[in-house]
Each structure stands twice: as structure tokens, then as C-alpha cells.
Structure 1
Amino acid sequence: MSKTRMTPAMLVGAGLGLGLVANAYLKRRNALSLQGRIVLITGGSSGLGLALGREFARQGASLVICARESEPLEIARQQLSEMGAEVLAIPCDITERQQIQRMIDQVVERFGHVDVLVNNAGIITVGPMETVTVQDYEETMQIHFWGMVYTTLAVLPHMLPRKSGRIVNITSIGGKVSVPHLLPYSASKFAAVGFSEGLHAELAKEGIIVSTIVPGLMRTGSHVNAYMKGQKVEEYTLFGMLATLPITSTSAEHAARRIVQATRLGESEVILTVQAQLLARFHGLFPGLTSAVLSTINRTLPSAEGTDIERSMGREEKTPLSNFLTSMGEAAANRYNQYVRQL
């Protein structure tokens, strides 16, 4: 009786099949009901943070939202409360460790613990590297990296004894592929991805699941509060258009639904949007070619020649053309409290 020999193709197919079965099993095992869970969202007063708050509220979670500015935070609290969620809003600058600790103390006093931490707070500075200062790098790193580290370390002592918890880190495709005119942003997001991936590996044995979320461009309206440098009008028009058009971006609602699903299922990494997935895979296979393509693209972007290093918010650089090109983004900015934030 002849024996069937396993070919390389059959072995690969069997391996893929086993991988899919194992992945499905892990998702079922890690599935978490969000009903009554305590979810803390940094940067929760506007943009993606507010969209996430609304989606977690729909799932029955109790919310803690924090942000630096009190007025948009209170507006967000009212909106989320109207959905029936229990909401605690705490003004907090996540670059200040003492403020974070006071916030966590308030959360524990009110709710007893934190089930889910979403590190979402962010900042964007757009412009050629010649206009970027050391202060721009430091500020961005403080928020995207150290803010994530500080908040995580403050929450962990309340998760570790319970052997339970979820930490969701909102990074960026800019943390996988560094793109021109976003150098401080990309550098800090690379650091955030490294921290998040390492944290996932180390905390799994403690019963705490860390999810690294890697979004592409999203229509959250955040472009109106991004900092522009160099040829500011041109930078704003281009960035706003890319962050607005459906072919290059996804809606905040879709992103929030997918992130909350990843939180509930305990997924280790999610790259949002097809565009971001393709870019990450292409860069992984052809890093040199990716750099060459980005170098070519950079030559077509607004130059730094004749500009200074002063920055302004995107909304200050609007023109009739940019208003037309970013009409969907303008609608998102109004829907997600972006214009409540101070200049």
C-alpha cells in the first residue's frame, strides 16, 4: 500500500490551516463582554477618542475620559451621558506623571479598578524637517510615547493583582513606515509600537492582553488642529485632503467599531484600512524600494525654502479650495468636537 508524501505546498497549507484554527480558538477564549466594564480613554474629548467613547458606550461600558482642556471634555461627557453611559471626565495632561496618578486615584475611588485602558491621546506636526525643532520632537515624544508609558505604568498595579485587564495602544501606520513631513510624529509612533509589542509579550503571562492598533488615515477632523509648519497653506491643503477623501481615509465610526472589536476579542495587532495594510506589507518586503519611492514623493511636497519655523493650527490656514477638498473632514471635525478645542 503506497504512502502519500507531504509536498512543501501541502505542509504550508496545513500550517496555515492550523494557524487559522489556533487564531479562531484564541479569539473565542479571549472574548470579553464590555457590559459594565470600566474603560479609560486618554484624549477622549474629541476625534477618535470621542468616537471610541461612543462605541464603548454602545457596548454598555462605563467610561473615564481625560484630556487637557476642560470645555471639550465637559461637552464630550454630556454627549456620552446622553447615550446612557456612566461617565467620569477628568482634566489631565498625560505628560505629567503626578496628574496621571491623581486621575487613576480618582478612577479607583469611583469605580474600584480599570478594566480597559485606551492610550489614544495624540498630536500631529506637519512640515519639512528643516522647519521642525527639537521642541517639536520632544513634545510629540512626550505625548505619544511617555504619555503612553506613564498611563500604562499607573494602571498596571491595579490590573496585575487581578490577573485581568486590557491595554489598547493607538499607534499609527507612521509607526511602521516613516513618511515625509511627519518626522516627529513617525519617530514617536515607532517608539509607541515598540513599547506596545514588547508589553504584549511580557504581560500575556499575567492575564493582561495588550492590543497594538495601527491606523491609517481617518476622518476624525483632527487635521484642523494639526500643527502646520513651512508653507502652511499648502501643507494643510494636502494633509487635510489625504485625511478626508474616502479613497485615502476611513471614517472614524468604522475605525472605532474595529478597535472596540479588537479590544473585546483581545487581538494583538490590528492594522486599520486596506491602504495601511498594503503599505506595511510592501515596506516589509521591499524596505529599500519603499524608501526610494518616499524620497521621490518628498521632492513633490512643499519645500521649506523661504519659510520660518513658527507653527499654526490647520484651521488657521484654510482657503476656499481647502474647504472644498476637505468637506467630509469638516463635517467630521464638527461631529467630533474638534472646533471646541482652543487655538
Structure 2
Amino acid sequence: LTLAALPDLRASSAGTVVTVSSVGGRIPAPHLLPYVAAKFAAAGFSQGLRAELAGTGVSVTTVLPGLMRTGSHTAARFHGRPAAEYAWFAAAASMPLLSMDAERAARAIVRAAERRRPELLLTPAAKVGVRLQGLAPATTARLLGIVARALPAAGDRPRHDVQGARAAEQSSLPAWVTALGDRAGTRFAEPRPHTGP
């Protein structure tokens, strides 16, 4: 889509392209290798495009959000040990310093585009992580290795998908831990976890 729009953007000598990648496009998050590969590609495309369009009047902003509070933990698909995978993801996607309200993020993205900023990092954790990765990549790799070992192992069960709402039924995670994420899910019409048979 971006490449299709470029001739018109170049002809107008104006406009802004906004690419929403992820902090996973800068930091290789454990347990998310296919996601990370796609997000690194999106961030690289966006940054390369900005360089190629320099001086044309067309601006490119790369957005690297951390976790967004959208209720996605109930719609996400989990593999291996779904209840354990759900528990860490749902908790992280609901915590204020690790995740961000999606409406607040949208406002920040619009402001960054209006100001023609080259890059926008969203969430305090994403900002710290990207800075640490830039300053100490070997240390960051070691820390991510520790995180990977702390996350639930896939086990010997065959690969299968379980939706977050279903994994929530099997998880012992207290409801108060995901309260902010669940409220966001209600606002954004994400499927809610079942609480009974």
C-alpha cells in the first residue's frame, strides 16, 4: 500500500507515512520469533523509506509501541502450555508501566505524525529496553536469555492453538491482575474470558 501511494505522495511533495511496527522490531522478545522477524522488517522498511524520501517533502514516522492495553490477551492465540503463556502475557498486557492505553497511544501517534518525527517509542518499558539495547546489546541479549528461560517451556504436548479467552479458564491468574486489560477489551470489543461452564 505504501509503495502504491508513493508516486502520488512524491508528486504532491507532502504527506506523512506512519508505520506501526513494535518494540519487537528493535528488541528480539523471547517466545515471539516470527512476530519479531516481521516487526524488524517493518521497522527497517520504514526507516529505509524515510532515508529514501529525504528532501522530497514526504515524511515517514516509525512507531515502536510496547504492549497496548486493548484486551488482546483474550483474543491472542497461545501454544505449548496455553494457561501458563496466557498468565504472563495477560499480566504484562494489563500492567500500567508495561502497557499503555490504546487511545492515549493513538493520540501520541497522531502528534508524532503532525510533527513529522522520525520515530516514536511508546511505553516506559519500551523506551528503557530500546535504550539498553542501543547502549549494551550484549547485556540486553543476556537479559533476554534469562527472560526466555523464565517463561513457560513449550513442553512435549503437540502444537495447538488456544484462544486467550479459553486459556483464561485454565489459568489460575487472579482477575484483578488483568482488570485494566479486561476493561480495555470491553471498550474495544475483544472477546471476554468465560468465568463459568
Q: What TM-score comes out, normalization by structure 2 length?
A: 0.90
Match status 1:280 vs 2:138 = no
Whichever residue aligns with residue 333 of structure 1, its letter is G
1:178 — aligned with what? 28
Distance 1:322 1:270 in 2: 33
1:333, distance to aligned residue in structure 2 (A): 0.9
Gaps of 5+ in 2: 193-197
* Pairing 1:329–2:174 present: no
Q: Who is 2:195 aligned against? A: none
**1:291-342 superposed Cα distances (whole Å, 9 cap, x missing partner):** 11111121111111122211122122113635332111111111112239xx
CA distance in 2, matches of 1:195, 1:323: 39
**Please, which moves more after superposition, 201-210 or 312-321?**
312-321
CA contact (8 A) 1:237 1:322 kept: no
Question: Do the aligned residues in 2 keep the contact of 1:221 with 1:336 (CA within 8 Å)?
Answer: yes
Match of 1:156 in 2: 6
Report how far residue 267 of structure 1 moved.
0.5
1:223 matched to which residue of 2? 73
Paired residue secondary structure (1:338) = coil
Partner of 1:165: 15
Residue 188 of structure 1 is matched in structure 2 by: 38
* Match status 1:202 vs 2:52: yes
AA aligned to 1:257 is R
- Give the Cα–Cα distance (whole angstroms) in 2 for the partners of residues 338 and 322 of structure 1: 19
Structure 2 matches for 1:1-343, cutoff 5 A?
A: 151-319=1-169, 321=173, 323-339=175-191
1:167, distance to aligned residue in structure 2 (A) = 0.6
Q: Bigger shift: 207-216 or 220-229? A: 220-229
Unaligned runs of at least 5 residues, structure 1: 1-150
Q: Percent identity?
A: 41
Cα shift readout 1:207-248 (whole Å, capped 9, x = no counterpart): 110000111111122222222111001101110110111132
Spell out, residue by residue over 1:163-191, the C-alpha distance to the aligned partner (whole angstroms, 9 max, x if none): 12111000111111101111111111111
Larger of the two Rg values belongs to structure: 1
Equivalent AA in structure 1 for residue 177 of structure 2:
L
- Higher RCO (Cα < 8 Å, 6 or more apart): 2
8 A contact 2:63–2:119 mirrored in 1: yes
Amino acid at match of 1:201: A
Q: Distance between the aligned counterparts of 2:137 and 2:74, measured in 1?
A: 32
Relative distance call for 1:335 and 1:172 in structure 2 (3 A) is same
SS of the equivalent of 1:275 reads helix
1:229–1:310 Cα contact (<8 Å) kept? yes
Give the stretch that moved more between structures: 306-315 or 280-289: 306-315
Closer/same/farther in 2, CA of residues 322 and 307 from structure 1, 3 Å limit: farther
Aligned residues: 190
Q: Secondary structure at the match of 1:294?
A: helix
Structure 1 stretches (4+) deviating beyond 6 angstroms?
A: none
Q: Give the whole-Å Cα distance in 1 for the aligned partners of 2:36 and 2:74.
A: 19
Listed one character per residue, the Cα deviations across residues 128-185 of structure 1 (whole Å, up to 9, x for unaligned) are xxxxxxxxxxxxxxxxxxxxxxx11122233222112111000111111101111111
